[in-house]
Structure 1
């Protein structure tokens, strides 16, 4: 009887676990491919379904040969123009609680820049210069020539450029936890290709689903929340949105030499407990010094202060405007 060499026995014993591992890896790979295929298909079907459920609001204004969506509410003699923060998928609805507080006293104009809300996308670079010019053109089309500019987050950067370009039109600037050109961390390189892949593959929808409802506990109606969710899916990581993200660093850098006009009424409503940006309050206090009428007010809440502090923002804004008259 032939006895198998020791080496053959060892190889045979080692071969079994290796075969099992390879088979297991193959099964896992197939499962991943199937999962991604299912996610992709479900996302495509959901996008098409949601597109038909989105309810129009506001009105379209012709800007640069495209449609920019604008919501107007209220009949006051004085006008407040609202500008959103970056990535706010549906500005007019996101600002709804604030608009409802403002509109008994002002005519409120909520602008949805290209790539936001129900506005068209655009192939134009999302530089501050282009975005400011487009917003201004929309207001010109609406025959709006005197107004307070009120902006959230990155609108602090665009708004700073805006008030310097159109000083005879802007009567005051109001920042809602608005960005500051010198805040740290804005020279970061964003993984644009990763974001694009997450969106096209449908994985972004999955991530949103597992991360929970961002509007939970807020005073929005359920129907409004659902509309915001669907429009967010529509606008998430589009080419226009990613192009704006690509320009964030250069837009911040380009604003560093700008200051607010000295005689421009200027008030910032700032998150009191921001732990993400070092020196958040001092940065705004320093910026407020640009104006002889500059003021900083802190409010307890998250970055989207207008979700929970709309009444406080409007009450204090009105009081401030009364004092400076």
Structure 2
């Protein structure tokens, strides 16, 4: 091969390489533009939809001042005894989510639903979501309402907060009822701020709305009317992954660890409603039984239900609760 032919071959090879690179860069550029356009659309749709939903949101309950912020509380029923309902982690609207159970309890009891900061229609807070702070805020809300004697009824993570609560305010709490409530030995995984930062971006860019759109309806087939479900869905999109709840997630591991040193007062009546078949652990029932082994009046009721058993088994819970409270 002559020098001229070799040179021409190299030039042709170089030209071909440049063409391939140019095509790859154009494809890459198109992909980047498409991604940015998709993100922009998701962000814009979320902003517009959030603004529209804010107008459709129907206020409920009443606000009480706690630590300079507004905490939302609902009260239904006029019974002589008072039940204070506390939600599980991330419940978008405790007052609406507990609606089936409230309907069953309110004919005989005064039912108070506390919406902690970051939940329902309550303000958010930058104060650390330690058990001590959460318990203090709930107590302050009840004090503002002049509620000084009550039965504490908590779902999921509220079981951990309630362990601290019933020991600090044992002169106020007449009984505790756990609705598939958490127990200290079965702890959540440790979550750091570095884990939640991407979730904040995920929410702020509007992708939480996309996630919900692709998820199954948690209230499908349950006793919630269409208007209530619409309001619940608005509040799910409003509160999902908010900064207060993410801070609570970061504090969860240490809150569980602190609760390991606590137990229920011996003379406090304790009733647990728990799912019969926990999907992740076989220690769910034994650990609840262990927590009340020294209680003078303690009981575990097993239900064929999932974690949100009060949504599907409200009538049975109310009936068993009345039986327990009237039994010797």
Task: Give me the TM-score of the superposition, normalised by structure 1.
Answer: 0.95
**Residue 229 (structure 2) pairs with residue 225 (structure 1):** yes
In structure 2, what is the Cα distance between the partners aligned to 1:162 and 1:194?
A: 33
Cα pair 1:270 1:299 within 8 Å, conserved: yes
Which residue matches 2:155?
Answer: 152
Q: For residues 222-246 of structure 1, what are the alpha-carbon distances to aligned partners after superposition, in whole Å with 9 as ceiling and x for unaligned?
A: 1101101111111122221111111
Alignment of 1:190-205 (within 5 A): 191-205=195-209
**Residue 298 (structure 2) pairs with residue 312 (structure 1):** no
**Residue 290 (structure 2) pairs with residue 249 (structure 1):** no
Which residue matches 1:297?
Answer: 301
CA shift for structure 1 position 184: 4.1
User: Match of 2:273, SS?
Assistant: strand
Which residue matches 2:211?
Answer: 207
Length, aligned pairs only: 324
Which residue matches 2:270?
Answer: 266
Which residue matches 2:238?
Answer: 234
**Residue 118 (structure 2) pairs with residue 115 (structure 1):** yes
In structure 1, what is the Cα distance between the partners aligned to 2:281 and 2:158?
A: 17
Change (3 A) 1:124 1:185: closer
Moved more, 142-151 or 285-294: 285-294
In structure 2, what is the Cα distance between the partners aligned to 1:212 and 1:31?
A: 28
In structure 2, what is the Cα distance between the partners aligned to 1:7 and 1:47?
A: 59
User: Match of 1:216, SS?
Assistant: coil
CA shift for structure 1 position 141: 1.1
User: Match of 1:116, SS?
Assistant: coil
Moved more, 107-116 or 61-70: 61-70
In structure 2, what is the Cα distance between the partners aligned to 1:295 and 1:83?
A: 20
In structure 2, what is the Cα distance between the partners aligned to 1:185 and 1:58?
A: 32
Gaps spanning 5+ residues in structure 2: where? none
Alignment of 1:96-175 (within 5 A): 96-175=99-178
CA shift for structure 1 position 185: 4.0
After superposition, the CA RMSD in angstroms is 1.6
In structure 1, what is the Cα distance between the partners aligned to 2:261 and 2:189?
A: 15
User: Match of 1:143, SS?
Assistant: coil
User: Match of 1:52, SS?
Assistant: helix
User: Match of 2:327, SS?
Assistant: helix
User: Match of 1:75, SS?
Assistant: coil
Cα pair 1:184 1:278 within 8 Å, conserved: no
Task: Give me the TM-score of the superposition, normalised by structure 2.
Answer: 0.95
Q: For residues 166-222 of structure 1, what are the alpha-carbon distances to aligned partners after superposition, in whole Å with 9 as ceiling and x for unaligned?
A: 001100000001001110443354721011011100011111111132211111011
Cα pair 2:135 2:161 within 8 Å, conserved: yes
**Residue 33 (structure 2) pairs with residue 21 (structure 1):** no
CA shift for structure 1 position 130: 0.8
In structure 1, what is the Cα distance between the partners aligned to 2:187 and 2:239?
A: 27
Change (3 A) 1:185 1:87: closer
